[in-house]
A and B are shown apart, each in its own frame.
Chain A
Amino acid sequence: MAADIKVTELAHELRKSIANIEVADGLESVGTVTKIGDGVAWIHGLRSAGFSEMLEIETKDGIVEAFALNLMEDEIGAVLLGTDVSVSAGDTVRLKGTVLEVPVGPELLGRVVDPLGRPLDGAGPIKTKQTGLVEREAIGVMGRKSVHEPLMTGIMSIDSMFPVGRGQRELIIGDRQTGKTAIAIDTMINQAKQKTGVVNVYVAIGQKLSKIARLVDRLKQEGVMDQTIIVATGPSDPASMLYLAPYAGTAMGEYFRDNKQHALMIYDDLTKHAVAYRQMSLLLRRPPGREAFPGDVFYLHSRLLERSAKLSDELGAGSLTALPIIETQAGDISAYIPTNVISITDGQIFMETDLFYQGIRPAISAGLSVSRVGGAAQTKAVKSVSGHLKLGLSQFRELASFAQFGSDLDEETKSQIERGQRLTELLKQVQYQPMSIWEQVASIYAVTNGLFDKVSVAKIKDAQVALLTRLWTENKDDMRTLEKGDKPSDDVLKLLHKVAVSAAKGFEE
C-alpha cells in the first residue's frame, strides 16, 4: 500500500516538474513561410521537423494545417491540407509534434467523411474514442494467416471463376464506363444482404460529388449504409486530400480488422490517386520518371495495399480485404500504373468494353481475369459446381470467334459453343442484385450439367428465374442448407437436377 502511494507521488512530482520546465522555457520552434502556391508551402527554419510531421501555419484567418514531405538542407516543402488562399509568405509555422491521425471506430459507420475524418453529411459531429495513424506499417509475416474464408461478391461470374477471399487484394481494372464501380457496389450490397457482418469502407478519390451522392442514396435504399463508411474527396479538393484519402480510409478499416472483425476496402480509383501524387511530387520538385510519375509511385500503392491482410488467430483473426480500382485507357493494361497495381494485388478482374457493349454485363473478361489466392477461400458449394467453368468459357470465346468463319463444325465443337452461349447468358447479371450462394449453385449446376441445353439462349434467364422460384417455394429448407456453403449432398444435387429438368421444360424450343 505504502509503495503505491510513493509511486503516485512520484508520477505527480514528475508531472509538476515537467510543467515547470515547460513554463520556464516558453521558447517554441518556429519557421517562416518563404513561398506559397499550388497547395505547397516552402518553409524556412524548423530544422527539427520530422518526415510527414504535421505543421500549423498561423494565417490572418486562423490556423492552416500542412504536413512536411520534403526535408531539405535549406528548407522544408510542406503540402497544405486546406486552401492556400489565406497563407502568405512571412507567416509563422509551428510544429505540431504529431503525425497525421484520423478518428476511427464504430461511430463512423453510416457516415460520409473527408480524409481527416470530418463529417460531410451534415449529420452532426463524430465523436470517436480512438484515433488511428494514417500512415501505418503493415502487419508482419507472423501476424498473418493465409486467406481461407470467402468474401462473396454476389456476382456469379466472380464467385464462381475468380473467388475473392477475406484478406485478399483483388484489382478491378478496365476502361471508363465498363462497370468497375458497379462491381464494388454490388459487393458492398451483398455484404448487407447476406448478413456477412463485413464492414464496407468506400474511398472515393477525386470522384464527382454527384456520383458520390448517388452512391450514398443507393446504399441507403439498399440498407447497406449502416455498415458502411464513405471517405469522399471530389475533383476540386486539394491534391493532398486525394493523396491522403486511401490511407485514411485504410486506418478506419484497420480498426475493424484489429478488433476481430472483417472489413472491405474499396479504393475508387487508384489511377486518380497516382495522378494526385504526381501533382504533389512535381510541385515539390521531385524528379519525374516514367509518365512523369515520381520514382516512389510503386511504393505509394504497395504500402497501401500491404495493409490489407488476414490476421493470425493470435491477433484475433480479423481481416481487411481490398478491391482497388484502376482505370485503363483503351484497354491498355501494360501502362505504368496498371502493371504496378496488377503486380501488387492477388489477382485482377478485367472489364472489357467490347463485352459491355455486346450486352454481356458484368463485362468480365474470363481470359484476362484471375484470382491468385481466392481458390482456397472459395465457398465449397460453389466450387463443387464450377470446376471447369473458367476454362470452358475462355475456350468458348476463342471458338466463337473462330466459328464465325465457317459453319461446318464438328458436333463436339458445336455443343461446346452452344453450352458457352448459354453459360454467357447465365452469367449476365442485373446491377444491384447480388445472388446468394444457393442461387449461384443451382444456376451453375443446371447449365454446366446440360440441363438447360434445350432451352433457347434467349430464354436462359427466364428458365433460371423459374428454377430459382420453384426451388425456393418448394424446397426452402434444402436451399437454406445449401446457403451455408458446404459441399451439396447427393440428395440436394438430385433435387436440383429434378427441378431444373422440369423448369427447363416450359422454355424448350
Chain B
Amino acid sequence: MAARLSRRKIAIFVTDKILASNHQAQQVLRELAAYLVTERRTRELDLIVRDIEAMLAAKGTVIADIASARPLDVAIRAEITAMLAAKSVQLRETIDETLLGGVRIDTPGKRFDGTIRHKLNALRAKQL
C-alpha cells in the first residue's frame, strides 16, 4: 500500500499545476477532486483548500478574506492590496456588523485584526 500523501505535498503539487496552467485551474481541481474521492479523503477538503491557499500565497498569489462592518470603498481596498504586497491579490469581502467598525484581514496563516470588537475584547482581557 502506498504511503498516505501529506496535505502539504498535495498542496504543493496542485499549486504548481495551477500556476503552470496559467490560472486555468478547472482541470487540476477536477483531478484533485477525483483523487480525494478515490482516497476517501473528502473530509480533509477544507484543510487542503487552506493549504493550497497558503502555498499560493507563498508564491505571490494572496487570497484575502476581508471582514468589515460596512462596505469598503475603493481607496481602502487599494490600501489593503498595497499592504499585502503580493504579485496578485484577490479580495473576498464579507460584511459583519458585529465587528462594530474597522477591518479584519485574513490571509492564509496570517491575520490583521483592526476591528473595534477585537480592540474592545483586548481591553476587556487586560482589565481582567
Contacts and interface: CB of A to CB of B under 8 A. Distances in A.
A410 interface: no
B63 interface: no
A343 B112 CA distance: 52
A323 to B, nearest CB: 39
A44 B50 contact: yes
Contacts of B50: 32, 44-45
A314 interface: no
B60 interface: no
Interface in B1-45: 6-9
B109 A26 contact: no
- Per DSSP, chain B at the interface is mixed
A509 interface: no
A29 B47 contact: no
Contact of A46 (B7, B47, B109): B109
Contacts of A45: 50, 54, 108-109
Interface residues of A, number: 17
B47 A44 contact: yes
A45 B7 CA distance: 12
Contacts of B47: 34, 44, 74
Given A26-B114, A45-B50, A63-B125, A73 B6 contact: yes
Contact of B105 (A27, A44, A46, A92): A27
B125 A74 contact: no
Interface in B100-115: 105-112, 114
Point out which of B7, B9, B111 has the most chain A C-beta atoms below 10 A from its C-beta: B111
Contact of A29 (B7, B8, B109, B125): B109
Nearest to B114: A26
A29 B111 CA distance: 6
A430 B126 CA distance: 52
A306 B54 CA distance: 42
A47 B8 CA distance: 11
A143 B90 CA distance: 58
Contacts of B128: 62
Given A44-B47, A44-B50, A62-B125, A27 B107 contact: yes
Contacts of A73: 6-9
B51 to A, nearest CB: 8
B110 A30 contact: yes
Contacts of A46: 109
Contact of B109 (A31, A62, A63, A74): A31
A21 to B, nearest CB: 13
Point out which of A29, A30, A63, A73 has the most chain B C-beta atoms below 10 A from its C-beta: A30
A44 B8 CA distance: 11
B96 to A, nearest CB: 15
Contacts of A29: 109-110
A28 B110 CA distance: 5
A92 B8 contact: no
Contacts of B112: 26-28
Given A44-B47, A63-B125, A30 B111 contact: yes
27 contacts: A26-B112, A27-B107, A27-B111, A27-B112, A28-B110, A28-B111, A29-B109, A29-B110, A30-B106, A30-B110, A30-B111, A31-B109, A32-B50, A34-B47, A44-B47, A44-B50, A45-B54, A45-B108, A46-B109, A47-B109, A62-B125, A63-B125, A73-B7, A73-B8, A74-B6, A74-B7, A74-B47
Given A29-B110, A74-B6, A74-B47, 18 more contacts: A26-B114, A27-B110, A28-B111, A28-B112, A30-B110, A30-B111, A32-B50, A44-B47, A45-B108, A45-B109, A47-B109, A62-B128, A73-B6, A73-B7, A73-B8, A74-B7, A74-B8, A92-B111
4 closest pairs, A vs B, by CB? A27-B110, A30-B111, A26-B112, A73-B6
